[in-house]
Structure 1
């Protein structure tokens, strides 16, 4: 059987379309390729964005800001020493961009001016740290991206 060039072009198109459809169906049905938003409450967070901007501006007025360092025991977060650590309240949020299931949210409870996140809770890779804290009714916000 002899195939002319017109039939060959049609066969190539059919093969290409089949190839594309196979991958579209595979990507939509496989649970390993979940399609997640960055945050679940995107619109709710957007409404509170001005409060976040104000808290970041308050952080810029501090004489000494929060420091984050990787040490042997884990991730050490040091709050300003000129603030009374008993009056500091808030949350520490560790966001893992590659896997939503690894995100960690920890309430701040200090026994001194440092807070330690144990090494076994953190995997190697990129983390976005957001520390939302209040001191004497004033909100502060610290954001940093680190590679652990």
Structure 2
């Protein structure tokens, strides 16, 4: 085999390698934190203000039972009309995200059945309002089965 054949084999191998890498790159899935991240970035000051307001009252707590994730709202807000939502954000897979409206019982507790939660590691992003005051809190959550 002369040097011309060897050079041709090297070029064909290189082209095959580049073609394989391009194919694998196009098959890779990249989840964005949010599809409308620019709009959310413009409203980021609301999160800062909400986090500050939430730090001035007793903390939101998250606990677990065998079947449920329990979110306990602050005592100061018990009995007040609260509106908001809970976003269980899974950083590794957007399909595992869970978004729910904030629905509290008379004791200020929200229970989320673990059957609705497919992943294990989340950031619980809780935003709510009471009157004209907006609150926001992020808490880590590792769901145990």
Same fold (TM over 0.5): yes
Structure 1 unaligned segments of length 5 or more: list them. Answer: none
- Residue 14 of structure 1 aligns with which residue? 12
The Cα of 1:102 is off from its aligned counterpart by 2.3
Q: Structure 2 unaligned segments of length 5 or more: list them.
A: none
Residue-pair matches, total: 142
Q: Please point out which of 25, 33, 39 is paired with 2:34.
A: 39
Alignment match of 1:100 (pick from 90, 94, 97) = 94
Which residue among 52, 76, 95 is the counterpart of 1:82? Answer: 76
Q: Distance in 1 between matches of 2:112 and 2:78?
A: 20
Larger RCO: Structure 1 or Structure 2 (Cα < 8 Å, ≥ 6 residues apart)? 2
Q: Displacement of 1:9 after TM fit?
A: 5.5
CA distance in 1, matches of 2:127, 2:51: 9
Report the 3-state secondary structure (helix = DSSP H, G, I; strand = E; otherwise coil) of the residue aligned with 2:64: strand
Distance 2:123 2:15 in 1: 40
CA RMSD, Structure 1 to Structure 2 (Å): 2.0
TM-score normalised by structure 2 residue count: 0.85
